C-alpha cells in the first residue's frame, strides 16, 4: 500500500487492506449469486470477487466448480451445458441459511449490477484447467470491452482486475487486454512458483492465507519488486489483522461485514454461527 495508486489499484483505505467479497457475502448467502453480491455491497465490501466458466454456447457464467453437483439441484458439467440448461438450475436452496432458489448468474448480469457501484473494484478469476481453454479469457475481454472496462487511464484507475492460478491464462490475458491489471494466484504448496509471473507483467500476487501464515516475508518481498498482494480467503479476525499488519493491499473474505469490524478493530456484533463455503480460490 506504499506504492502510488497509479501503479496498481490500491486499497481505498490507506490504514488497512481493502475488503474483497469472496464470491459475495458467501458465508451467509449462496455463493456467486445476485443476492450474495447485493448483500456484500450493503455490508461495505470495497471489491467483489467472481469465478468465471464458459458454457457450451460460449457464455461466461459465475460458477466455481466444473460441475454443479455441490451447489445445484442437478448435476451438470458447465462446459458441456448451454446457458439455457444452466439457467434452469437452482443454485440457492442448498445453502443452509438461505434455503431459497437462486438462478445461475451470467458475467454480464453481474457487470450490470456493478455499473451502479463505480467505486467498487472487480476481481475476475478465470477457472483452469478447462476444455474451453483460452476462450474464457477472450470472453472476459469481450465483456469488459462491452462495459468500457478494458481501457482505464492507468492501472491505478482500473475497476477490473483479472486473475487466475494459471500462469498461461494470466500471460494470455495480459496480451489481450494490456491496460487491465492482473493477479497471479498461488496456493501454499506452490507459492514459490510465482516468481516467473513477474516476467508476465503481473501487478499483484495472490497467495492463500495459509501461504502468508507460513511465509509472511513474501508481502515485503513482492512490495520491493513493485507488486501488490491479494490474499485469499481470510475469515478469522486474527488472519484478517495479519493481512492488515503485513500491508496486504486486498484481502478476500466470505464475511465482509465481520471482516470490516476486525480490520478496523471494532467490537464485532454477536452473530449466528454461519458455515463457511469452499474457500479454494
Displacement of CA 126 from its chain's centroid (Å): 10
Instruction: Calculate the alpha carbon distances from 209 to 48, 75, 141 in Å.
Output: 18, 31, 29
Question: Of 191, 252, 187, nearest to 217 (Cα)?
Answer: 191
User: Sign of the CA dihedral 34, 36, 40, 46?
Assistant: negative
Report the Cα–Cα distance between both ends of the chain, in Å, rounded.
22
- Cα–Cα distance for residue pair 40/26, rounded to 1 Å: 8
Pairing of strands 60-62, 47-54: antiparallel
Please list the active-site residues.
22, 64
Q: Is 277 helix (H, G, I), strand (E, B) or coil?
A: coil
Displacement of CA 118 from its chain's centroid (Å): 17
Tell me: cis bond preceding 129? Omega within 30 of 0 counts. Answer: yes
C-alpha neighbours within 13 Å on the C-beta side of residue 47:
29
Burial 121-151 (b: 16+ CB within 10 A, else e): bbbbbbbbebebebebbbbbbebbeebebbe
Residue 119: how many other CB atoms lie within 10 Å: 8
Amino acid at each position: 500500500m506504499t506504492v502510488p495508486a497509479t501503479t496498481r489499484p490500491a486499497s481505498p483505505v490507506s490504514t488497512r487492506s481493502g475488503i474483497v467479497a469472496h464470491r459475495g457475502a458467501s458465508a451467509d448467502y449462496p455463493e456467486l449469486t445476485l443476492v450474495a453480491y447485493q448483500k456484500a455491497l450493503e455490508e461495505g465490501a470495497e471489491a467483489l470477487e467472481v469465478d468465471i466458466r464458459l458454457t457450451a454456447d460460449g457464455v461466461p457464467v459465475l460458477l466455481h466448480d466444473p460441475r454443479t453437483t455441490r451447489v445445484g439441484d442437478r448435476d451438470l458439467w458447465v462446459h458441456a451445458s448451454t446457458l439455457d440448461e444452466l439457467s434452469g438450475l437452482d443454485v440457492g436452496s442448498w445453502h443452509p441459511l438461505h434455503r431459497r432458489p437462486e438462478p445461475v448468474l451470467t458475467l454480464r448480469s453481474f457487470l450490470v449490477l456493478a455499473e451502479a457501484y463505480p467505486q467498487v473494484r472487480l476481481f475476475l478469476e478465470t477457472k483452469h484447467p478447462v476444455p474451453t481453454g483460452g476462450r474464457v479469457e477472450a470472453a472476459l475481454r469481450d465483456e469488459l470491452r462491452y462495459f468500457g472496462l478494458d481501457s482505464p487511464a492507468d492501472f491505478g484507475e482500473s475497476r477490473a482486475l483479472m486473475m487466475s492460478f494459471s500462469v498461461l491464462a494470466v500471460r494470455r490475458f495480459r496480451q489481450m487486454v494490456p491496460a487491465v491489471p492482473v493477479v497471479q494466484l498461488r496456493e501454499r504448496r506452490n507459492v514459490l512458483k510465482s516468481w516467473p509471473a513477474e516476467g508476465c507483467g503481473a501487478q499483484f500476487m495472490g497467495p492463500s492465507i495459509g501461504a502468508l501464515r507460513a511465509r509472511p516475508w513474501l508481502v515485503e518481498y513482492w512490495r520491493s519488486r513493485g507488486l501488490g498482494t491479494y490474499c485469499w480467503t481470510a475469515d478469522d479476525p486474527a488472519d484478517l489483522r495479519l493481512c492488515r499488519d503485513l500491508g496486504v493491499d486486498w484481502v478476500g473474505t466470505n464475511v465482509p461485514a465481520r471482516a470490516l469490524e476486525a480490520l478496523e478493530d471494532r467490537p464485532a456484533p454477536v452473530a449466528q454461527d454461519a458455515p463457511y463455503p469452499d474457500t479454494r480460490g
